[in-house]
């Protein structure tokens, strides 16, 4: 019943091609891991369209995810993107295991665990990796080291040990900012590897329950070379070196045009 959660990728070379990277030779290292994470965030968008717009069942089987995201050049949400990412890292030679996480964005209440991340063990270090969160998250791995500060793409993040085996990621602003700003909580993750099958019920809730944020509003986003682009509900936002642009999408035709232009998504339905 769950065998397809564990099968190998159908074609590793197609994955490298989708990332815009040449296949790596030699032993996997931290530089390669960061390069893969950054390329993943730029090349493969986050999108919840199958859940929010089309009300389709979400398969976490590796063949289905490969066909949708790699062959079909679509995006996905965390349970899809990080599942495929884990399978790819395993093929490349990394030691990786999935972990549960929760958003710390302030909605006025504690959000349930509805996120999948990845824990990589490399050269005796534990690292948190993520290519399936809307942001802000760094385009690199984060060390499980209390108080560690990591700069990525001009943004500063901090990692803090929390109660039990939980760790918190906070956004500390841009390196160009002159003024000190309070750190903004972003994500909590559990340093406890789970089994892939454990995410099936979490994904089912996230993709079907009316209280899930994924069923309530359309979300599409992608990292760019100098910022990011996103669609949230009917708002399009582009952030780059020239500043920030934002406007309300006028209708379905403009929405589909923006999807194709900025996210490489051409809808067939």
Nearest-5° Cα angle at 141, 160 to 23: 170
Residue 145 to residue 49: CA distance in whole angstroms: 36
pLDDT band at residue 26 under the 50/70/90 scheme: confident
- b/e code 142-155 from CB counts within 10 Å (16+ = b): bebeeeeebebbeb
DSSP string over 13-75? HHHHHHHT-PPP-SS--HHHHHHHHHHHHHHS-EE-HHHHTS-PPPP--HHHHIIIIIIS---
pLDDT of residue 136: 79
Task: Dump pLDDT digits (tens) for 180-226.
Answer: 678 899 999 999 989 999 999 999 999 999 999 999 999 999 999 99
pLDDT of residue 194: 94
Q: Is it the case that residue 179 has pLDDT exceeding 70?
A: no
pLDDT of residue 180: 64
pLDDT of residue 111: 87
pLDDT of residue 268: 81
Task: Dump pLDDT digits (tens) for 47-77.
Answer: 999 999 999 999 999 999 999 999 999 999 9
Task: Dump pLDDT digits (tens) for 219-261.
Answer: 999 999 999 999 999 999 999 988 999 999 999 999 999 999 9
Q: Round the average pLDDT of the chain to a whole number and report it.
A: 94
Q: State mean pLDDT over 114-118.
A: 96
DSSP alpha helix (H) spans, the chain: 12-19, 30-43, 49-52, 62-65, 78-92, 199-208, 213-216, 252-258
In degrees and rounded to multiples of 5, residue 172 shows phi and psi of -105, 10
pTM of the predicted structure, to 2 decimals: 0.95
CB 220 within 8 A of CB 258: no
Q: Is it the case that residue 1 has pLDDT exceeding 90?
A: no
């Amino acid at each position: 019943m769950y065998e397809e959660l564990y099968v190998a990728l159908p074609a590793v070379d197609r994955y490298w091609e989708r990332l815009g990277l040449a296949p790596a030779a030699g032993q996997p290292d931290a530089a390669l891991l960061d390069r893969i994470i950054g390329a993943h965030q730029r090349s493969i968008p986050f999108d919840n369209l199958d859940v929010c717009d089309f009300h389709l069942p979400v398969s976490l089987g590796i063949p289905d995810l490969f066909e949708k995201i790699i062959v079909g050049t679509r995006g996905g949400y965390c349970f899809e993107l990080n599942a495929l990412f884990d399978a790819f890292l395993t093929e490349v030679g990394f030691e990786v295991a999935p972990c549960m996480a929760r958003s710390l964005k302030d909605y006025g209440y504690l959000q349930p665990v509805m996120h999948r991340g990845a824990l990589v063990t490399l050269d005796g270090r534990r690292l948190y990796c993520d290519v399936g969160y809307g942001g802000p998250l760094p385009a690199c791995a984060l060390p499980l080291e209390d108080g560690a500060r990591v700069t990525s793409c001009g943004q500063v993040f901090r990692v803090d040990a929390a109660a039990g085996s939980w760790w918190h990621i906070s956004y500390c602003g841009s390196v160009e900012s002159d003024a000190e700003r309070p750190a903004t909580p972003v994500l909590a993750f559990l340093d406890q590897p789970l089994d892939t099958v454990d995410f099936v019920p979490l994904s089912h809730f996230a993709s079907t329950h009316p209280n899930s944020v994924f069923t309530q509003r359309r979300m599409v986003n992608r990292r760019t070379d100098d910022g990011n682009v996103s669609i949230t509900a009917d708002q399009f936002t582009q952030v780059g070196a020239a500043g920030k642009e934002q406007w309300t999408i006028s209708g379905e035709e403009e929405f589909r045009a923006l999807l194709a232009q900025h996210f490489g998504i051409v809808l067939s339905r």
